[in-house]
Structure 1
Amino acid sequence: MRNLIETKQTTATTANCKARRGKMKPPPSPFQMLLQIELLVISTAFLLLFLVIFGSCRRRCNSDKFRLVIFAAYTLSSYVLAYALGLMYSIPFHNPLFPIWAMFLMIALGSADSLSAYSLEDTEKWKSYNWQLGIKSIWLGLLIGLHNNDISNKIILFACLFFIWALKCDERSRALMAASRQSLERSTKVVADYMSREHENGGVSRGEVDPVSMRGYRYVVRGEEERWAKNLVLMRFIKWCLGKKEPAPAAGLPPAPHYRMPLEKEDELITVEKVWKCEGRLLSQGGDPHDKLKDTCLSFALFKLLRLRYAGYSLPQKAHDNTWKLIRDGLLSQEDGYKRAFRVVEVELTFLFDFLYTKYSIIFQPGRLLLKLAEFVYVTLGIWYTTSILKNYRKHCDINKPATLPNGLVIDILMTRVMIILFIIVELMQFFFIWFSEWAKVIWICKYVQKKSWQGNVWIERMIRAICWVQLLKPWEQKLRQYSFLKSYSYKPCRLLNNKLMAVYIDQTRDGQRQSSPIKLPEDVKQAVFDALKLNYGTKLENGQASLRVKKVFGKLSWACQLETETQVIMVWHIATSFCEHQQPVRSNSPGTRRNFLVATSLSKYLAYLVAFAPRLLPDHPCVAESVFDQAIVEAREFFGRCNKTEDRVREMERKGRGSSAHEETVINRGARLGIQLVNDIEREDMIWRILADFWVELVLYVAPSDDVKAHAEHLTRGGEFVTHLWALLSHAGIERDHPTKPRNALERSKSL
């Protein structure tokens, strides 16, 4: 009886299990799993192609949607790789193409030369990236052993693919490490020590420099990289084979008393002075009439000085004085000198962007270009061996009936061929970008300066000129982003995405944060700002008060420059400028008045944009700037009530602003009072816009010397900011604000894991 009961229970349990199994989704078939793997592999190939083409476009585009797509492609590539490797390992049949696909996926992980890091935080996690890479390598080895019982016929293929993978991943690892704070401090110390020695007693003196002929400007362009290239194992091995002995390093610290790192063979360095002294036809007035080729080297030298600021090093005051003389009497000496100065800074920031977010700084290290050429050879061999293996794929496949198309072509073979084609396109495009990059131009020009035999070779000069005159894309977006407080204060973002729940996932859009359409950076704005910079013979800046003294209206309007925070000053003057824009539109045909109107309104809306969208670039603490902006939005809604049109709001400002005083606490009241004061007290229309234009030009220069270096570096990936270009220029000149608001700190050291 007991056995009968147990038998019935067992039968019932079995029946229940079968019933549950019948309701469960059946496991995917081998064909479905194979299809998933193929889709993942081909998707990764397309992600790689997308990153290669558009990786560097972040510095030319400020679109949030575009950055989101780049971030998705950058992030998904790693997760797709891990998931695809897991499927290949767990699939119930063997496929000899799986290891090849896996190798191509691993190569794709470090292939995009134009995007090594999405953000600065990624550069600080370079050790974590290396550990993850090591774990994936073990996984790849297990996969090769599982799906290849006989790898003797594929040993050359795997050797080629392994070399390509190791080189690409090593480049990305070293690029991340080089851009990290800790590594940057070490690598730039040699340049910092060199600049300190150059501007001390016995070095460059104040009277020896000439910003036209560049005499005395021994800023390093190329040469100090050789010091770090000695650490390359391959270079040391080659020197050992050739019987060259390296000098024994000095024990302990560099020699006293300053413990500075020496630069070996300083006389062989390529400096700015040597580039300008070069007598070759390529760099002469006939071959380089506007100094564009030489200015590329100047931009590279200034980029190395900007890295010192980023790493937290300071230069002697004499170095800043000489650079200020270079800017004022060299770059800005001609009538259209502002174009040259802006071009030099543009290329300089291009180098900084590439150093922080791409692999170019590693690729163009001494000896690395030979490895890049070897990589091209191995890519060719790997593709050739892969195509030969595809011919025998049907014989070695464990699947009885591989998936085929109606024309008899095996889907696996088709997918592999598509992947190979995409891989070829990616490699050719990357070599094309590298060949015509700004880094390549600097190397070719420096080689030309260094080798006297090249200076008389017509063909070499033509080749270098052809490379240097090709510009694939413009360096930056070259747009001035705008924000109008009177038009946007009533804006309310969608609460579906902007709430406390979504705040931990996406950046929140606050009330009133609606950007106006950006405008192309006007030439008049650049000229006005650089002309004002040239006329500033001091080393301190003021927040617009100097321009009021020059226009003899300091006593009337200075109260609007002496508010509690600089953010309030910007908002008050922006509201007043918007008031004048509607109350005193330009009616005169005078080019000067129209120019002042354009400069004033453009810079007013640009600085208001910085308040609303980029407060870290302003003198005040970011939280203070955000608080002032949020409070101004609340005050404006109460002040204007139900005024829906801009014209009605301007009339409301005129009605309520007459009775307000300088001691009113609200930003909107102060702005209305200042606007009415400008319209009523300044009788001439042209004088109003001249006062406003000069004020905004001085204020944007005052804002530019930000102490938050990291914020400027992050904005390089968002299309670039006009204030960042000014920041770089003023940093070289050592020009500061009258009253610094925070300590000059570059970046906080953070762990790499």
Structure 2
Amino acid sequence: MAFNSSSGYCTGILQSFVSNLTSSYADQRNEASMVATSVVMFALATLFFNLNLFSGLSDMSAILNPSVRFFLSTSLSLFLPVMSYLFSEAKNEESGNNAGWTTTETELSFRARTILLWMLLVELLRKKVEAILVSVPGGYSGSIERAARIAWLGYLVFHNIRSAGKRALYGALWVLAAAKLVQRFVTLELGKRSFAYGKNPQLCAAYMDQILHEEQEQLLVDNNNNNNSNNGQQQLRGSELLKSCNYVVMGEEDLEKKAGPRGYRLILIEPITIRGQMVAKADSTVVTVGKIWNTEKMTLLFQKKQDPPGLKRLCLSLALCKLLRRMLEGFPITPLESQHCHRVIFDGLCHCQDDDDAAVALFQVLNDEVQFLSEYYHSVHPVVFSSPFFFLANYVLFPVVVSALCVLTAILSGYGDVLYAVHSFKNDNYVVANSVLKMTGCLLSRIAASPVNLFSAIDVFITMLLFLAFVYEEVWELIVFLLSNWFLVSLLCSHVTATSSTPAAGSGRILVGWAVRAILRVRRSTLMSRPSVSFKHFSLLWFCRLSWAPNTRAVPTEAKKAIMERMATNKPLSNGSASTLLQSSHHAELSWACESDSIADVILTWHIATVVLEAKQQQQNTEMPAAGASSAGGDRKVATALSGYCAYLVAFQPELLPDDKDGTERVYNDTMAEMKKKMGCWAYYCSTQEARVGKLMEIAAEAHDDTASTALRKGARLGKALVEKDRAHVWKLLAELWTEVLTYAAPAAGELHVKAHREALAHGGEFITLLWALATHTGIARPVATAGSVV
């Protein structure tokens, strides 16, 4: 149908609708406020729509950027009061216009109803910026605030709207908002009181303490009974060790427990043995890492080939996540647990594959663990509660109940007359009686006639955007839920614990197997695949470009392998001096670059030297020697990647380094200020690579032993020394040094350092957060520094 100013459809059926819509703009007394309201609402609706659309297409994370969430929360905190004032203004304006014509209460103006509709839709979208915090202790201020908003909106709807059909429509939206409030409150309260979620740290602390001590006692008994024993469990490696691992994955809330003066005491179903006998019986709902690795059902889940090992490692990630979360909430990891976890990770997980594959597997486990932890503390979707039961309750039964309540609201709005309610709902609402696209077409056809028609069309477009954003958000929440790691692990555990041989149970296992395979197929697609382990890369010297933001690179496999091998050893950590000591021929002339009590100073010194060496070799454009070429290439890749990441930490994430944040920032700012002074203002912001390297070589020539006190001077002097050395040997030295420096910076340096890593989880965590988690699990720590010592 063609829509134009002379269309009989527009001038006939929609004449009253369009005239009502544009009448508020025709009255110029409040023109400024109405136009401003439309503009602000258009911006807000566009932001919500784009946020839902592009955040969904970019990744599958349930985490919203904290900066965006803070901005939206601040904006929405003023939304309801401001819009309530504008609603009252629109309502009073209509009442004033009709004061001389009638003494009865009239229906709300179209402008007032539009504002009320916006308020309801924004309230439904507000959950996008509210994290689902299961572990927040006590406090109901947030719930009370949300309940007050819902109650106020209910008053506005049922006190001001007279028409039965309109009251049914607006009442249904209010019922949906109120039902979601109740749903959220009940979910969070049950989660806080559940040993699977809110009380899980206390339970895990008791669980780990008890099973490890009983395991140690059993080991001592067996050794005493058989002096010739070679400690069978100590000889276990790879998958055999993981089959004996009793770290709980799911179902621990079903364990029998008793509260005591020092926490909970578990009543285990059967004793632990050194051969990895399960905590629970085979028909129990408790799932451990050992049960996942032992079961043949994982293989039966994939009919044509063996199950992907990534699924077993995903379960291990969740088990480690529960242990790390317990530490973050005040239950420290014991030395006995650290020793045990060190063996599980480095003797078990890392011995299941070849060296390169083992490093990739290890960091994927750590990455998934940090992702679990990030979603637990900062998710805006209920992925933490993922399970088949929650899916049925939240996404099947809940919509049915809400639909019934909406129908009941419509019937009550029609005073109990069902036929009258149906006819009123259709006749009183233009959107139901006529297509919203047809109404929009009529408005668009009249835009050129008057600016009033333009703003009226914008109001309709705002409403459509808000409604589409809400629908998209609901659909995307379901998709994120179904494709989340939490739901996948829940399905795997359900499959593993299914023991019944009834036909119904067999059908259930088939359905679970089909669901797991479907999820894996979808997640392997381009849009739904999760990102690999990556980190940011930054250079202090080559920052003249359009964007100051550091780029993101995948962590090289060689770097993962080097870090894994270094952290698997029991050698004391150092700030790089240990790597120079290994190269005895270079120790005397290079160890001075590590003689600093500031890790930031050491990082900047060696970073500048590494970048100078890399640039000089690129300028020379010579071929790598044939002997050891592959090894030197791998060492160079490790050194340059870790150097750039450490520089990024100094420049952008100083709180994640063990030094004091202010001290790290001072070292960085002093270095950049000196660089600007030496190079000049123009060259500092824009100069070629050759010019910068040349200037650094001049600085190196001036920097004698007594003057090379700053990071820039020491870095230039060190870079000049490295350029003169054998290429293959120097890259091997740098690869070892940067591996040492990064592992030295990983362990926690106190409560503030732990807090910084926890806050980094809001962004999904940094690469060094993975290393911090690994160091925390395995008990790796820096040597205690004495006054005036350099480690």
Normalising by the smaller structure, the TM-score range is 0.7 to 0.9
Tell whether the 8 Å contact from 1:338 to 1:527 is kept in structure 2 after alignment.
yes
Which sections of structure 2, spanning at least 5 residues, go unmatched?
A: 1-24, 95-106, 220-230, 270-278, 411-420, 433-437, 445-455
- Counterpart among 314, 318, 322 of residue 340 in structure 2: 322
Find the counterpart in structure 1 of residue 485 from structure 2. Answer: 438
Alignment CA distance shift 1:299-1:396 (3 Å): closer
- Describe the superposition over 1:333-374 as per-residue Cα deviations: whole angstroms up to 9, x where unpaired: 222111111221222122112111113255437964314423
Is 1:129 equivalent to 2:137 in the alignment?
A: no
Find the counterpart in structure 2 of residue 305 from structure 1. Answer: 323
Tell whether the 8 Å contact from 1:77 to 1:109 is kept in structure 2 after alignment.
no
Find the counterpart in structure 2 of residue 544 from structure 1. Answer: 576
Shift of 1:625: 0.1
d(CA) in 1 for partners of 2:36, 2:720: 68
Find the counterpart in structure 1 of residue 691 from structure 2. Answer: 648
- Counterpart among 611, 634, 637 of residue 676 in structure 2: 637
Alignment CA distance shift 1:576-1:610 (3 Å): same
Find the counterpart in structure 1 of residue 782 from structure 2. Answer: 737
Alignment CA distance shift 1:85-1:41 (3 Å): farther
1:521 maps to a residue whose letter is V
SS of aligned partner of 1:260: strand
Alignment CA distance shift 1:577-1:532 (3 Å): same
Tell whether the 8 Å contact from 1:59 to 1:717 is kept in structure 2 after alignment.
no
Shift of 1:418: 6.6
Shift of 1:138: 3.3
Q: How does 1:360-509 map to 2 (within 5 A)?
A: 360-361=382-383, 363-364=385-386, 368-369=390-391, 370-378=393-401, 380=403, 390-393=425-428, 407=442, 420-453=467-500, 457-471=509-523, 473-476=528-531, 478-488=533-543
Alignment CA distance shift 1:657-1:59 (3 Å): farther
Shift of 1:135: 2.7
Tell whether the 8 Å contact from 2:247 to 2:290 is kept in structure 1 after alignment.
yes
Find the counterpart in structure 1 of residue 740 from structure 2. Answer: 698
Shift of 1:380: 4.8
- Describe the superposition over 1:404-436 as per-residue Cα deviations: whole angstroms up to 9, x where unpaired: 667599989997677555533332222122112
Alignment CA distance shift 1:486-1:43 (3 Å): closer
- Describe the superposition over 1:148-206 as per-residue Cα deviations: whole angstroms up to 9, x where unpaired: 347699579847843553435652796699799xx998542221221111222456869
Find the counterpart in structure 2 of residue 212 from structure 1. Answer: 239
Tell whether the 8 Å contact from 2:161 to 2:167 is kept in structure 1 after alignment.
no
Tell whether the 8 Å contact from 1:220 to 1:301 is kept in structure 2 after alignment.
yes
2:528 maps to a residue whose letter is L
Alignment CA distance shift 1:662-1:197 (3 Å): farther
Find the counterpart in structure 2 of residue 117 from structure 1. Answer: 131
Alignment CA distance shift 1:638-1:530 (3 Å): same
d(CA) in 2 for partners of 1:289, 1:396: 52
d(CA) in 1 for partners of 2:462, 2:197: 43
Shift of 1:307: 0.7
Is 1:524 equivalent to 2:524 in the alignment?
A: no
d(CA) in 1 for partners of 2:440, 2:677: 69
% identity of equivalent residues: 25
Shift of 1:474: 4.1
Find the counterpart in structure 2 of residue 587 from structure 1. Answer: 623
- Describe the superposition over 1:564-602 as per-residue Cα deviations: whole angstroms up to 9, x where unpaired: 311111111111112222334463061222222222122
Is 1:76 equivalent to 2:75 in the alignment?
A: yes
- Counterpart among 600, 607, 617 of residue 567 in structure 1: 600
Find the counterpart in structure 2 of residue 276 from structure 1. Answer: 293
d(CA) in 2 for partners of 1:419, 1:515: 32
Find the counterpart in structure 1 of residue 773 from structure 2. Answer: 728
Moved more, 98-107 or 656-665: 98-107
Tell whether the 8 Å contact from 2:388 to 2:490 is kept in structure 1 after alignment.
no
d(CA) in 2 for partners of 1:173, 1:662: 68
d(CA) in 1 for partners of 2:69, 2:710: 41
Tell whether the 8 Å contact from 1:117 to 1:176 is kept in structure 2 after alignment.
no
Shift of 1:622: 0.4
d(CA) in 1 for partners of 2:785, 2:186: 38
Shift of 1:721: 2.2
- Describe the superposition over 1:199-237 as per-residue Cα deviations: whole angstroms up to 9, x where unpaired: 22456869647551323321121124569xxxxxxxxxx
d(CA) in 2 for partners of 1:264, 1:348: 27
Find the counterpart in structure 2 of residue 686 from structure 1. Answer: 728
SS of aligned partner of 1:470: helix
Is 1:139 equivalent to 2:138 in the alignment?
A: no
What TM-score, normalized to structure 1? Answer: 0.74
Find the counterpart in structure 1 of residue 712 from structure 2. Answer: 668
Moved more, 45-54 or 342-351: 45-54
d(CA) in 1 for partners of 2:565, 2:108: 69
SS of aligned partner of 1:84: helix
1:542 maps to a residue whose letter is S
d(CA) in 2 for partners of 1:429, 1:377: 19
- Describe the superposition over 1:680-727 as per-residue Cα deviations: whole angstroms up to 9, x where unpaired: 3x3x21001111111111111111223423322333444642212222
d(CA) in 2 for partners of 1:179, 1:608: 41
Which sections of structure 1, spanning at least 5 residues, go unmatched?
A: 1-24, 228-246, 398-402, 494-512, 743-753
d(CA) in 1 for partners of 2:157, 2:266: 48
Shift of 1:522: 2.9
Alignment CA distance shift 1:583-1:30 (3 Å): closer
Shift of 1:541: 1.9
d(CA) in 2 for partners of 1:354, 1:415: 31
d(CA) in 2 for partners of 1:306, 1:189: 12
Shift of 1:515: 4.7
Tell whether the 8 Å contact from 2:367 to 2:533 is kept in structure 1 after alignment.
no
Moved more, 52-61 or 162-171: 52-61
**Corresponding pairs, count:** 658
Find the counterpart in structure 1 of residue 86 from structure 2. Answer: 87
d(CA) in 1 for partners of 2:588, 2:265: 54
d(CA) in 2 for partners of 1:405, 1:58: 31
Shift of 1:613: 0.8
Find the counterpart in structure 1 of residue 100 from structure 2. Answer: none
d(CA) in 2 for partners of 1:179, 1:713: 20
Shift of 1:390: 4.7
Alignment CA distance shift 1:724-1:473 (3 Å): farther
Find the counterpart in structure 1 of residue 10 from structure 2. Answer: none
d(CA) in 2 for partners of 1:420, 1:261: 51
Is 1:576 equivalent to 2:609 in the alignment?
A: yes
Shift of 1:533: 3.1
What TM-score, normalized to structure 2? Answer: 0.71
1:739 maps to a residue whose letter is V
d(CA) in 2 for partners of 1:633, 1:414: 50
Find the counterpart in structure 2 of residue 624 from structure 1. Answer: 663
Shift of 1:729: 2.0
- Counterpart among 356, 361, 376 of residue 340 in structure 1: 361
d(CA) in 2 for partners of 1:610, 1:441: 33
Tell whether the 8 Å contact from 2:574 to 2:741 is kept in structure 1 after alignment.
yes
1:668 maps to a residue whose letter is L
Moved more, 40-49 or 617-626: 40-49
Moved more, 209-218 or 317-326: 209-218
Alignment CA distance shift 1:115-1:407 (3 Å): closer
